[in-house]
Amino acid sequence: MSLISNSDSITRAAELRKMKKDKLERLISHARRDYTADELALGYLRYEVLRTLSPRAFANWNKRNLAGENFDDIVTDALVSCEDSNENH
């Protein structure tokens, strides 16, 4: 028998979800206050490039960054290259 009841676990899970939601709302509010719409959009676009990157490609980019290449430049170059190839189709 568990020392924590099922209803306690459900209550705790709901509390954790609310804490995460509140934290995300604060982070979003701070981002809107501290960054321009263009900066936020660029961050989103860079994130989308990284999110869809294969682990092997990410490892390659990380290796390039460790060798001294600026990581933001690597991601931005890939973003521009991807957009250029989309425009050609």
Q: What is the mean pLDDT of residues 71-80?
A: 95
Q: Are residues 29 and 65 in the same domain?
A: no
Q: What is the DSSP letter of 88?
A: T
Is pLDDT above 60 for 1?
no
Q: Are residues 10 and 42 in the same domain?
A: no
The neighbour count for residue 60, using CB atoms within 10 Å, is: 13
Is pLDDT above 80 for 39?
yes
Q: Are residues 52 and 17 in the same domain?
A: no
Exposure class string for 14-52: b at 16+ Cβ within 10 A, else e: eeeeeeeeeeeeeeeeeeeeeeeeeeeebeebbeebeee
Q: Which residues form the domain of 64?
A: 36-89
Q: Are residues 41 and 69 in the same domain?
A: yes
Q: Are residues 51 and 15 in the same domain?
A: no
Q: Are residues 13 and 49 in the same domain?
A: no
Domain count, the chain: 2
Cβ burial, residue 5 (10 Å; 0-12/13-18/19+): exposed
Q: What is the pTM of this model?
A: 0.68
